[in-house]
Amino acid sequence: MVSLFYFQLLSAGLFSIGLYGVLARRSAVLIVMSIELMLNAVNINLVAAASHLEGRGSFVNFDGQIIAIFIITIAAAEVGLALAIILRIYRNRATVNVDEIDIMKW
Partner 1 sequence: MSWFLFILLAVLTLGGGLGVVLTRNVVHAALALLLSLVAVAGVYLVLYAEFLALVQVLIYGGAIIIVLLFAIMLTRGSEYPRISDNRQWPLAALAALGVLGVLMASFLIDPVENSEAQSPAFTDLANSLFTRWAIPFELASLVLLVALVGAIIIARTETDEG
Site for partner 1 in 23-82 (CB under 8 A): 23-27, 29-30, 32-34, 36-37, 40, 43-44, 47-48, 50-56, 61-63, 65-66, 68-70, 72-81
Residue type, 3: S
93 binding partner 1? (CB under 8 A): no
Q: Are 50 and 61 spatial neighbours (Cβ–Cβ below 8 Å)?
A: no
User: Residue from 42, 83, 102, 103 that binds partner 1 (CB under 8 A)?
Assistant: 83
Q: Which amino acid is it at 21?
A: G
Q: How far is Cα 54 from Cα 36, in angstroms, rounded to an integer?
A: 26
Nearer to partner 1, 16 or 106 (CB): 16
Which amino acid does the sequence have at 38? M
Q: Which of 58, 94, 102, 105 binds partner 1 (CB under 8 A)?
A: 94
How many residues sit close enough to partner 1 to count as binding (CB under 8 A)? 76
| Nearest one of 95, 88, 86, 104 to 35, comparing CA atoms | 86
